[in-house]
């Protein structure tokens, strides 16, 4: 497995694989690799001839400096994990390589889809995501890009950016990977204390409560209230939002059948902010 740290070298590598008429699978990550990331690699290996993975903690998508500084980093462990999973090359640039002039003068600002829910709670977050992925897709060139459904709104935003800007990537969403108790895998879980880790189960429990509410024929508003009640009953958790939305627009549902809806929840567990989501029907 190759380790590449310079953008120009990554572009050359991708071009070389395309010259061999190989389909490129690309898994963009911020490192701290876990089984959720490996499920993306597995999906990529099933569809592509060559799989590359990026490890880059993108400062543009962090509004809170402390959150950026506390984000887990272990490149050596990530490289071992990626190689064992069958990744052909890892692109792990320094911030100075990706943004040589410091804060870039040009950023990609998503439209309305990036301004609600996560966008409202984390102003500027999706502009940072859209900007770095536009750069990564431009460097990689034509590829199939694999992203997890755990970050459901991010997946929708990235698809919109790729469509609007005709970026050379086919975005493929992959199912959320969970612990046995339902907690969605996330690099942020590493920051939870044992007590907080136990409390974090309330996010998945809230989603199940919302799903059950809809199954009983209750309204989306009633399902949201059921979700909120579960999180608010956990002393170590603080609810940010609980929402039932249409999966395309992420807006409150109109006349769409309940089975087509998506349930989303975000909450702080201790100091760590976590998100999760489920379709209205399993």
Share of the chain above pLDDT 70, in %: 99
**Domain boundaries of the chain, sorted by first residue:** 2-174, 187-275
The pLDDT value recorded for residue 255 is 66
The pLDDT value recorded for residue 256 is 61
The pLDDT value recorded for residue 79 is 98
Q: Which two tokens stand for residue 16?
A: 């070389």
DSSP strands (E only) in 136-176:
143-148, 169-174
Topology adopted by domain 187-275: 3.30.1300
Q: Which two tokens stand for residue 94?
A: 């320094």
Indicate the pTM of the whole model. Answer: 0.95
pLDDT of 258 over the 90 cut: no
* E strand or H helix at 197: helix 194-199
**What tens digit of pLDDT does each residue of 117-131 get?**
999 999 999 999 999
DSSP 51-87: EEEEE---GGG-S-HHHHHHS---HHHHHHHHHHHT-
How buried is 216 (Cβ within 10 angstroms: 0-12 exposed, 13-18 middle, 19+ buried)?
exposed
User: Do 2-174 and 187-275 come out as alike in CATH topology?
Assistant: no
Q: Which two tokens stand for residue 96?
A: 């100075």
Reduced to 3 states (helix: H, G, I; strand: E, B; else coil), residue 243 is: strand
The pLDDT value recorded for residue 259 is 73
| Partner residues linked to 145 by β-bridges | 26, 171
Over residues 97-113, the mean pLDDT reads 95
How buried is 246 (Cβ within 10 angstroms: 0-12 exposed, 13-18 middle, 19+ buried)?
middle
Q: What is the dihedral of CA 182, 188, 193, 198, to 10 degrees?
A: -10
Of 264, 83, 14, nearest to 156 by C-alpha is 264
Cβ proximity of 41 and 34 under 8 Å: no
* E strand or H helix at 276: strand 272-279
DSSP code, position 184 = B
The pLDDT value recorded for residue 150 is 97
Provide the annotated active-site residues: 37
Please report where in the chains the tokens 């994990």 appear, as a residue. Answer: 81
CATH 3.40.50.620 describes domain 2-174: yes
Mean pLDDT of the chain: 96
Of 58, 29, 26, nearest to 127 by C-alpha is 58
CB atoms within 10 A of CB 96: 9
């Amino acid at each position: 497995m190759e380790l590449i740290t310079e953008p120009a070298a990554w572009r050359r590598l991708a071009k070389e694989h395309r010259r061999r008429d190989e389909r490129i699978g690309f898994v963009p990550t911020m490192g701290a690799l876990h089984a959720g990331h490996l499920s993306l690699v597995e999906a990529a290996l099933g569809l592509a001839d060559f799989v590359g993975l990026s490890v880059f903690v993108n400062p543009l998508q962090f509004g809170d400096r402390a959150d950026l500084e506390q984000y887990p980093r272990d490149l050596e462990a990530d490289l071992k994990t990626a190689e064992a999973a069958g990744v052909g090359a890892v692109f792990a640039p320094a911030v100075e390589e990706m943004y040589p002039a410091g804060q870039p003068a040009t950023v990609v600002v998503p439209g309305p889809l990036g301004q609600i829910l996560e966008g409202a709670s984390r102003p500027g977050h999706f502009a940072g995501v859209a900007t770095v992925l536009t750069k990564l897709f431009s460097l990689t060139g034509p590829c199939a890009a694999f992203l997890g459904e755990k970050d459901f709104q991010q997946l929708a935003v990235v698809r919109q950016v790729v469509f609007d800007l005709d970026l050379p990537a086919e975005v493929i969403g992959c199912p959320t990977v969970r612990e046995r108790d339902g907690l969605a895998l996330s690099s942020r879980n590493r920051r939870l204390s044992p007590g907080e880790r136990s409390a974090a189960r309330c996010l998945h429990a809230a989603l199940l409560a919302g799903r059950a509410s809809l199954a009983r024929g209750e309204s989306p508003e009633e399902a949201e209230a059921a979700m909120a009640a579960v999180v608010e009953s956990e002393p170590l958790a603080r609810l940010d939002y609980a929402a039932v939305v249409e999966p395309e627009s992420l807006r409150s549902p109109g006349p769409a059948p309940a089975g087509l809806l998506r349930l989303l929840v975000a909450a702080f567990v201790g100091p760590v902010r976590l998100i999760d989501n489920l379709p209205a029907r399993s």
